[in-house]
Amino acid sequence: MRLIRVNMQQGKALSEPVPPVYEKLGGRALIAKLLLEEIPPASDALGPNNKLIFCPGLLGGASVAAGGRLSVGGKSPLTGGVKEANAGGTAGDALGKLGIKAVVVENQPEAGRFYLLHIHGEIADLLPADDLRGFGTYAVSEKLQERFGKSSTIISIGQAGEQLLLGACIACTGEADQRSNLAARGGLGAVMGSKGLKAVVIEKPTGGGMQPANKELLRSTAQAFAQKLINDPKLGTQGTQHLYGTASIVGAVNEIGSLPTRNFSTGNFEGAGDLRGEHMRETILARGGKVGTRCMPGCTIACRNLYVDEKGKAIVGTLQYETISLMGSNLGLANLDDVALLNYMCNDFGLDTIETGAALGVLIEAGLASFGDAKGITALLRQVGEGTPLGKLIGSGAVTCGKVFGIRHVPAALGQAMPGYDPRSLKGNGVTYATSPQGADHTAGNAFGARAQVNPLATEGQKELSLKLQIIAAMLDSTGLCLFARPPVIAEPQLMANMINGIYGWNWTVEDLDHFYRDVLRNELEFNRRAGITQADYRIPEYMREEPLAPHQATFDIPDAVLDSVFDTL
């Protein structure tokens, strides 16, 4: 395997052998280690000393079902700490097959210049890309696929990343109509913009791809793993993920009173029925759209969709739970057509829909629009693409919007907006939001899936649950496995050990894996500590401890001392 270092100041991209310290790492694990090794923790996240890392997980390129996620990382300009954001699509698989451990983008070019990185076979070139400035990610990916081939994977930023907005994300193309797979959280799109990097083009690998150390072990284990996914009632062709995507949980999260509604002011939305996965599926099918599509090659779950308008014209691929909640119920919108349009706009501008949905909720509370006013909300969002001062504010996330307008109700932790579960009614998620080194991130440890084991409204058991889930998340993010594919490897950790040993021949045991996952969190916590993040920063907003959330009149009442002790047994 090799590392590609891209020096934006010199305009060069060079391959080098993988340094031994990174050899047995991938995805989030690699990013955490590289941050500690190479990035001064106190550096300006949008300055020359931060680095932007693209890497597959350890399973990338090995033809493991749902194992091709792309990790993107660096120091986050939003949280001030470590950030790993991962995306579906075809990039992770392509980099793995090319034998690329990571692409590390360093320094900055002359101010105002943009480039694209072209990876083809053994070669990586930096090419001028000023002609792509000002275009959204959809146009960029279309233009670059016309130029470099329809089978090329395109990673890009839109106008938000060019403007260095804190809510900016990075888009990646995927299978068929899944053109927007987003490394969404934490403002990494702004880091990419600060490097003057508009896009990365990865030509589809030709040739044999990676050569596993033990082909038969990999083949048999990957096959068994894929079969377990197919047989799982949640994940097979009759499972909720395939039938409805993540929108399958809208009804349930609303029922348990955790659905962010009108800037997280209540946990039930009267319009939730029209946002549910069942209604979405019926609508899509009636209009000639698609459900049950995949973003990654070889995925057996296929949870994506292509949401279309009344005439069957594509609005967005894909409409999923987080956007439906943060840009639907959170904004008082009960019409999926409105949410789909907002989703498309965010994808095109290259904006995190969670951060932007939360920001818009704060701004509506500040009086800039009304809850439920789709036209007014859409007009606000449009300003991001137009680059107006208000647009820059909207694209800078919930905390900045709250500060500028003096709004106390800002649903964020460690500077990052909360995803689609109000922590007052799903307290395990509150512990994750508050304590994860990634900030408020449901994929860092989502307690919704463990609701049968720990009562969402109770204070007991949440700390232990969050730690367990955070370790699992570290596993997923470092191996590149989609989090929906986790049940078999949680039930049988030896499956993961066998797949990794089959690829690399490291003879890892299940205990080695557990140590590996915990090291990810240790490294991230250490980087954050060195970056100046203290215990006092790992908190839930004060108002969520004081203001009860209907329907259960619950507050977040897990003591700070408990939050401080989550990692005592790490």
Partner 1 sequence: MELFGQLATDGIKKQTLEVPEGCTAGEAAEKLNLDTNLVGLVTIDGVQLTMSARLTPGCRLCFFPPMSGG
| Binding positions for partner 1, rule: CB under 8 A | 233-234, 238-241, 243-244, 246, 248-249, 251-253, 255-257, 268, 276-278, 320-322, 420-421, 442-443, 446, 448-449, 451-452, 455-457, 483-484, 551-552
Sign of the alpha-carbon torsion through 83, 84, 88, 94? positive
CB of 278 to partner 1, least distance (A): 6
Between residues 200 and 253, which has the closer beta carbon with respect to partner 1?
253
Between residues 303 and 381, which has the closer beta carbon with respect to partner 1?
303
Strand order across the beta sheet in which 314-316 lies: 290-293, 304-308, 314-316
Instruction: Report yes or no: 31 and 129 within 8 Å, Cβ to Cβ.
Output: no
Between residues 109 and 245, which has the closer beta carbon with respect to partner 1?
245
HSE-up (13 A, CA, CB side) for residue 432 = 30
Q: Encode 15-35 in three state secondary structure.
A: EEECCHHHCCCCHHHHHHHHH
Q: Locate 201 and state its tokens.
A: 């083009």
CB of 362 to partner 1, least distance (A): 23
Among the listed residues 508, 484, 505, the one whose alpha carbon sits nearest the alpha carbon of residue 496 = 508
Phi, psi angle pair for 362, to nearest 5°:
-65, -45
CB of 528 to partner 1, least distance (A): 25
Between residues 65 and 132, which has the closer beta carbon with respect to partner 1?
65
CB of 32 to partner 1, least distance (A): 22
β-partners of residue 56 are 70
Between residues 136 and 428, which has the closer beta carbon with respect to partner 1?
428
Between residues 201 and 280, which has the closer beta carbon with respect to partner 1?
280
Instruction: Report yes or no: 163 and 387 within 8 Å, Cβ to Cβ.
Output: yes
Q: Which amino acid is at 173?
A: T
Instruction: State the DSSP code for 256.
Output: T
Say whether 262 sits in a helix, a strand or coil: coil
Between residues 113 and 279, which has the closer beta carbon with respect to partner 1?
279
Mind giving me the DSSP string for 172-195?
E--STT---EEE-GGGHHHHHHHT
CB of 326 to partner 1, least distance (A): 12
CB of 52 to partner 1, least distance (A): 25
Say whether 105 sits in a helix, a strand or coil: strand
CA 510 distance to own-chain centroid: 27
Between residues 119 and 354, which has the closer beta carbon with respect to partner 1?
354
Instruction: Report yes or no: 198 and 115 within 8 Å, Cβ to Cβ.
Output: yes
Q: Could you tell me if residue 257 is left (phi over 0), alpha (psi between -120 and 50 degrees) or otherwise beta? A: left
**CB-count burial class (<10 Å; 0-12, 13-18, 19+) for 319:** buried
CB of 510 to partner 1, least distance (A): 23
CB of 456 to partner 1, least distance (A): 6
Distance CA 211, CA 214 (A): 9
CB of 249 to partner 1, least distance (A): 5
CB of 483 to partner 1, least distance (A): 7
CA 312 distance to own-chain centroid: 28
User: 3-state SS of the chain: helix, strand, coil percent to 5?
Assistant: 45, 15, 40
Instruction: Report yes or no: 358 and 365 within 8 Å, Cβ to Cβ.
Output: no
CB of 327 to partner 1, least distance (A): 15
CB of 360 to partner 1, least distance (A): 20
Instruction: Report yes or no: 154 and 199 within 8 Å, Cβ to Cβ.
Output: yes
Between residues 202 and 354, which has the closer beta carbon with respect to partner 1?
354
Instruction: Report yes or no: 246 and 322 within 8 Å, Cβ to Cβ.
Output: yes
For the packed helices 336-349 and 137-148, what is the interaxial angle rounded to 10 degrees?
Answer: 60
Between residues 139 and 243, which has the closer beta carbon with respect to partner 1?
243
Q: Locate 548 and state its tokens.
A: 């009860």
Distance CA 143, CA 482 (A): 29
Between residues 272 and 363, which has the closer beta carbon with respect to partner 1?
272
Between residues 46 and 471, which has the closer beta carbon with respect to partner 1?
471
